[in-house]
Each structure stands twice: as C-alpha cells, then as structure tokens.
Amino acid sequence: MSKSSEVRIPANEITVKRRADVSIAVVGTPNSGKSTLFNRLTGLKQRIGNYPGVTVERHIGTLKTNDAVIELVDLPGTHSLTPHSLEERISVDVILGRVEGTAAPDGVLAVLDASNLYQGLFLVQQLLDLDLPVVVAMTMGDAAIRSGIDVDVAALQDALGGVPVVEVVATTGSGLDELRVAIAAMRGAAASRELVVWPELRRAAGEFQQATDNELSLRVCERLILEGISEHTQNYARLTESQTANLVSQRDKLFGMEPPIAVEARIRYAWVRDTLKKVQRSAPRLQSWRTRLTAFLNQPLPGTIGLFLVMAVVFQAVFAWATPVMDLIDSGTAVLSGSVAAALGEGAFSSLVADGIVAGVGSVIIFLPQILILFLFIILLEDSGYLARAAYLMDRAMHSVGLSGQSIIPMISSFACAVPGIMATRVIPNRRDRIATILAAPFMTCSARLPVYALLIAAFVPAKQVGFMNLQGLVLFGLYLFGIVMGVLTALLIRKTALRGPKPPFALMLPEFRRPNLQTVFIQLLGRAKVFLYRAGTVIFTVAVIVWALAYFPRSDSIGAEAEQQREAASYSVSGPELEAEYARIENLAAAAQLEQSWLGRAGKAVEPLFKPLGWDWRVSAAVIAGFPAREVVIAVLGTVYAVGDEADEQTLSGRLKASRWPDGSSVFTLPMVIGLLIFYACCLQCAATLAVIRRETNTWRWPVFAWVYMTTIGYLGAMLAFQVGSA
C-alpha cells in the first residue's frame, strides 16, 4: 500500500447532511457574552440536545436571511484550542470536525470581549489559523468604556488580517443587523489566512505536508504538529512509519525540550501584547455604580456577607415562593382528577385516567415552579456576573470536601428539591466535581421529606423543651444537619475513590456587573423547562403510572360487593351527616382491603421479612415501595392502608399509627422504629424525579443506579442500627 493511500480524509471534510444552508460555530471565552449574542440572533428558533456520548448540551439555533438559512451552534466557552475540561474538549472537537455524527462548521463567529482583549485575542488568532472563514463580533464595548478601555476597531481589523470585526452590544441589540450581514457573507466564503502569527509553525507544517504528498491540508498538518501522536490523530490521518518519523522530527525542531503548549503560549501572547499596543488605548476609568459595587464586593468580608444574603434569597424563593404555585397545581390536579373520575364513573379506565395519567402529569408539572424560579436566579446571577464571584468566594471551603466553589448553589438549592439542584450542576465545568455534587445533592433535606418528618415527629417525639429549643424542633434540625453531613461525606468519599483524580486549577474571570437581557433570560428559562418536561418528565410520568397499576390491580369483586352491602345497610340505619361519615368509613375500609390484596400490598408482604430487622410490617413496607415516585406519596398510602383515607388529617393518621400492632400485640411504631424510619427517609433516594434527572445529567444509568443502591443501603443499615440498638 502506498503512503498516499494510507492518508485519510479529515473528518471535517466529510459531508454531513444538515437542515440549514450553512453552519456557523459561535465560539468565545467564558463570560464574553457569547450565549447572550446567540440568543439575540436566533430568538426562539432553538433546539437543545446532547453531543453523542457526553452530557454536554448542544444549542443550535436558526438565523434566516434574505437568501439563506444559517445554522448557529453555540459552543461551550473555551480559552484556547488546547482544552482542559470536557466542555472545552467538545468545543475544540466540534470546531475541528472531530465529533462523530456532528457536521463540521462552515465558518466561525468568534465572540471577542472588548473589556478582555488579552485573553480573547489568543483564541481568535488560533481560530484564524484554521481553514474556515471567520467573523469577529466584539461585545462588551460599553463595559470596556466604563473600565477605561478604548478599542480602535479599524486597527483591530487590520491587525487580524482584514477579518471583519463588528461591534455589538448583545444586551441592547446594537450592531446586530450589521453582524447578520457579515454572517450571511460567510456562506461560500474562503478562509482568510493573511495573518501568520507563527511562521515557524507554518513552515514546519508545509514540510510535513510535502511528506504526505499534499494529501492533507496545511491546517491539518499544523494541528498534527501541535498535538502530536494523540488519541485524535486518527481523526486526521493514519500515518505510515516514515510520515510519523517526519512528524516527530518537525516537532523536535519546533519545540525542542519545551512543552508545546508553553511554546505556543509564549509566541501567541507576544503577538497579543504587540497587537494591544496598536489597537487599545487606556482612558480614565468611569466610577459608575457598577465599578463601585464591584470594588466593594471584591473585598472578603462584604463579599462573603453578600453571598450569604443572595443565597438566602435564592433558597427562600425556591422553598417558599414556589409553594403557592405548587399547591395550586396540586389542587388543580386533584380537582381535575375528581372531575374525570366523576365523568367516567367507576372502573379501571376511570382510575387509569384520573389516578394514573392525570396524577402522573401532575407529579411532573408540580416541579416546574421550583425549577423555573431556581434557574431564573441562576441565569440572572450568571448574566450579571455575580455567579463567578460566588464560586470564587466559596472555593476554599468547598475544596476541603473535594468540591469547588461552583457546587454551593446546587447544594443549597437541593434543600428545596434535588431535581432543580442537580440541574443547576451545569454551572460546574469539571466533570468529577459535577458528578460528586450530583451524588451529594439528594442527601439535602428537600421539601418532599417534610410531610413524613412532620407526621412522625409530631406523633412520636414528645413536645418537651430542651433549653430554649423544643425537642421536636431539635429533632428536625438534627435531620437537616444529618443530611448535610452525609452529603459532604459522600462527596469526599466519591472524590477519593471512584472519581479520584487531579483537581484542575480553579481559574476564572471576575467580570464587572452588568444588566441581564430579559429576552435572553426568557429564552434560557424556556429551554430549561423544555429539557425537564421532555426528558426527566417522561420517566417520572412512566413510574407514576406503573405504581398506580401496582396499587390498583388485581381488583377483588368480593370486596366491592361487601362494601356495597354495607352501604345499603347503613342507608337504612342512619341518615344525614352520620350517613356520609359511615359511607366514608366503608370506602376507606374497602380501599385498604383492595390495597392489601393488590400487587403493591402483596409486594409489601413479600418484602416484610427483609424489612422486619428495621421493625417494619407489611403496611410500612408497601408505603415505602409506593413512595418511590415521590416521598410525599407515603402519607396518602399510609392513610389508605390504615383505612383513614388518602386525604387523612395528621391527627387521625397518627392515632392509627400509634394503635398499629404486630400479631403478638406489640406496637409497630415504637420510638426506635420511628427514629430508624426517619434515618431511612433522610438517606434513601426515594424519588423517581431525582433518578431521572441524574440519568439525564450524567447521560448514563450507571450513576443513578449507583446512587439508589448506595443511599438505600446507607438508609437500611442506619434504620436497622437505630431499631436494634434502641430496642435492645
């Protein structure tokens, strides 16, 4: 085989069918205003997906011009084409056409922050070395002026070899029309290679290109020399021995004994410094409220106090502001379910629609208020520039438990609900930190645990004063603290074992405060809602319907017939309110009997020996199984199984729990058993929504299965220890 036949066509030269006439990658450094600009250009014409095999989201939008449909791909922020995180790797691979199933871009829209040209120009000059047409959108011009920076756009365009540079203010829309024209002009345009920052690299690439008989483009040869023989080499070519030897020789001559990344940084930053002298002038810094606020909050004490105040507002909003809307959704679901049941009458189909489908949809939608409120705050904090400061301030404290400062918002948010908290881990760029935070988040005491805590604590913990605190309140505080400790220990354990690895350096820009754009906020908020409803919601709904089927089937005709006879007999003996109360008692007894002989009741009896070391009877076991979709369902199931109705008040149900007996006459709900049950609910991952979101965010079932087994095991062992020791 000849050496020319060994050379493969680069992945980015393979034609991949796409929906638009041209595909443009939107590339920029973090906090450069890239996503805001993308949202202003595409509006609601966006779709969100995942890159193949990874959890990194792919945001694709459509920009229509007079004669073309342009596809814009918003790539994760990256500082250079030498990636350090999964998100940066995805950006680089998409730009270079190395992602399987993803078309290589036809051009690049480089977003350059006018207030931080030093870092942005490093990336821009790397992009100009590619075989792709480039348009530069210079954002943050208003922020640059406030910082005392004046940029000569014409001089910058000349310094970049004539590449178009368009000034835009993404938050106001200034310059967008001119930018749309420049983007449309990229259709069919040739790459501009007038700028040669590193002539030695170009010369080495030309010599290596000759060694491959000119089968590879100059750009591919440059990337091979920069990267060497790596896992991505096969994306460009399969080299013969002589070609490989030539590549090694070119690298030795170019880099010597120095790391290639160090040589590249020295040369490119030298060009950046020379360029800044030509295009950037310093002016007196305007002392606006933004600059004064930035200087104040950059101080350790005010910054820390401000962070805790902001977190308190976020926590209060997610926990309290969402409650009225969630209660409204819950009430609406109950009313709709009752109306459907009344319209369809009795029977399996009626119960499926009312208790399965309607309740299942309600169990999905009820999370939306919390998710929208949390992400509203996250988007506002991120767009305003505050999120970077929060991560910086908390990094040292979180670092001690194996996490980064960016984990603080997801962890705090999980006190309201783990679902939006886990979704909030998208702000964490490092994969290990992100997964560790995801696994720690479900331990935080979410609002769904509170009904169970309230019932058991009120019924079995004496309302005594311990110093200035009530014993019941002290137990509740202890459960919150227990969840925090278990979450922190889990993160520490997982980072020392399964996710062990070097912790990447924590470096980020602290941008000046800026006003978020409402259109961008709305678009991102809508995207988060769609992601939850389309992906996590399908799993939650499916599980809810499955549990309904387990609790409904099989039906016993004899129980129904006996209940009808009792109702008929009651109608002859009592009347008025007493008759209604007797009807309710008969219905509750029939429902309890039906549940006992259903598949769910049989499952509870089947697993009773497994949970007997915890002091649980089949009723508690069945309630725990039924509570898998959502913990708060346990109260309704206990109300049904103890024949007080699924809408039982706390006092009535507490009395039934206290009166529950084993066959030998001993109490089921003893204090050690209740403490064990509280520990179980504090640890066990009994929430289908959380599992669905973990699956969604990690892109694999391995982590949700691990989390469920790990947390259930801890909960089981903790409950058994509490019961056995307490009983002894």
> Are the CB atoms for 676 and 718 separated by under 8 Å?
yes
Residue owning tokens 């792709």? 132
Q: What is the 3-state secondary structure (H, E, C) of 712-726?
A: HHHHHHHHHHHHHHH
Residue owning tokens 């590339």? 27
CA 1 to chain centre: 49
Q: What percent of the chain has pLDDT over 70?
A: 84
pLDDT at 645: 47
* pTM confidence score: 0.66
Residue 486 confidence class, pLDDT cut points 50, 70, 90? very high
- Of the given ranges (21-25, 52-56, 176-180, 346-350), which has the lowest mean pLDDT? 52-56
Stronger pLDDT, 705 or 686, i.e. the higher one = 705
Q: Domain-by-domain residue ranges, the chain? A: 20-184, 199-282, 300-445+475-518
Residues 637 and 618: their CA atoms lie apart, in Å, by 12
The side-by-side arrangement of strands in the sheet containing 134-139 is 46-50, 57-64, 69-74, 22-28, 107-113, 134-139, 165-167
- Give the mean model confidence (pLDDT) for residues 55-81: 85
Q: Which of 282, 265, 294 is nearest to 119 (CA)?
A: 265
Task: State residue 577 phi and psi, 5-degree precision.
Answer: -60, -35
- Give the mean model confidence (pLDDT) for residues 3-21: 43
Residues 167 and 135: their CA atoms lie apart, in Å, by 11
Our CA dihedral for 25, 27, 31, 35, rounded to 10 degrees, sits at: -10
pLDDT at 720: 96
Residue owning tokens 């977003």? 111
Residues 611 and 607: their CA atoms lie apart, in Å, by 7
Stronger pLDDT, 13 or 402, i.e. the higher one = 402
The per-residue pLDDT for range 98-157, each reduced to its tens digit, is 887 777 899 999 999 998 898 899 999 999 988 889 999 999 887 787 777 889 999 999
The per-residue pLDDT for range 537-578, each reduced to its tens digit, is 676 677 667 777 887 888 888 888 888 888 888 888 888 888
pLDDT at 4: 35
> Are the CB atoms for 243 and 231 separated by under 8 Å?
no
Residue 610 confidence class, pLDDT cut points 50, 70, 90? very high
- Give the mean model confidence (pLDDT) for residues 284-309: 70
**Which spans in 10-151 are helix H?**
34-42, 86-95, 117-128, 141-146
Q: Please tell me the class of the 20-184 domain.
A: alpha beta
Residue 495 confidence class, pLDDT cut points 50, 70, 90? confident
> Are the CB atoms for 678 and 697 separated by under 8 Å?
no
Residues 272 and 515: their CA atoms lie apart, in Å, by 29
Residue 589 has pLDDT above 60, yes or no: yes
Query: What angle do the packed helices 117-128 and 260-279 form, to 10 degrees?
Result: 110
Task: Please give the mean pLDDT across all residues of the chain.
Answer: 81
Q: Which of 486, 358, 453, 369 is nearest to 419 (CA)?
A: 369
pLDDT at 716: 95
Stronger pLDDT, 109 or 77, i.e. the higher one = 109
Residue 591 has pLDDT above 60, yes or no: yes
Residue 709 has pLDDT above 90, yes or no: yes
N-terminal to C-terminal alpha carbon distance within the chain: 80
pLDDT at 502: 64
Q: CA angle 609-614-616, nearest 5°?
A: 65
Alpha-carbon radius of gyration of the chain? 31
Residue 678 confidence class, pLDDT cut points 50, 70, 90? very high
CA 203 to chain centre: 45
Residue 13 has pLDDT above 60, yes or no: no
Task: Count CB-CB contacts under 10 A for residue 346.
Answer: 9
- Give the mean model confidence (pLDDT) for residues 501-506: 60
Q: In the chain, what is the greatest distance between 2 CA atoms, to the nearest angstrom?
A: 105
The per-residue pLDDT for range 335-367, each reduced to its tens digit, is 898 898 889 887 888 888 887 788 777 767 877
The per-residue pLDDT for range 200-241, each reduced to its tens digit, is 998 998 898 888 887 788 888 888 888 887 655 555 557 788
For 140, left (φ over 0), alpha (ψ -120 to 50), or beta?
A: left
Q: What are 263's two structure tokens?
A: 């040589």
For residue 76, cis peptide bond before it (omega within 30 degrees of 0):
no
pLDDT at 507: 55
